[in-house]
Homo-oligomer: A and B are copies of this chain.
């Protein structure tokens, strides 16, 4: 049995957890509304948010934008294995191509795993052509979002 699941000293207390959960659902919830929800004063809630920001738990308040509504009707996960000596170049290329909306450097055969959003299959082809000059790629088209980005357990 590993001990890291029954966390005796959770980073967040129950009130912080409720604040984080509510703001994850709507980051524009007013401090006054948050305060009413948790039964505290607005200044106390503002203080807690400041601490959550300073401790790095809240990295940013951001937007969830739907790529489909912007015309990116196709999404793919591309595994990328740079050719010998091309790692830095490939890394820069991924960072430069804005259709790559996310990319992780990972262990194993594939050096990078990236998410790309596209307007069409020909758009995908155009981008892969730029990458395959310097790397082997393996592309999987996204058919459905089984789990949408969500919070991990907060304790």
* A interface majority secondary structure: mixed
CB-defined contacts of A94 to chain B, threshold 8 Å: 146-147
* A interface residues, tally (CB under 8 Å): 75
**A119 in contact with B5 (CB, 8 Å):** yes
In the complex, which residues 28-69 of chain A have their Cβ closer than 8 Å to any Cβ of chain B?
28, 55-69
CA gap between A20 and B108 in the complex, in Å? 36
Contacts A106-B140, A117-B152 supplied; 19 other A-B pairs, CB < 8 Å: A2-B123, A5-B126, A20-B63, A25-B62, A56-B69, A57-B70, A58-B63, A58-B65, A62-B63, A67-B152, A75-B104, A77-B106, A98-B153, A99-B152, A99-B153, A104-B143, A105-B145, A105-B146, A108-B139
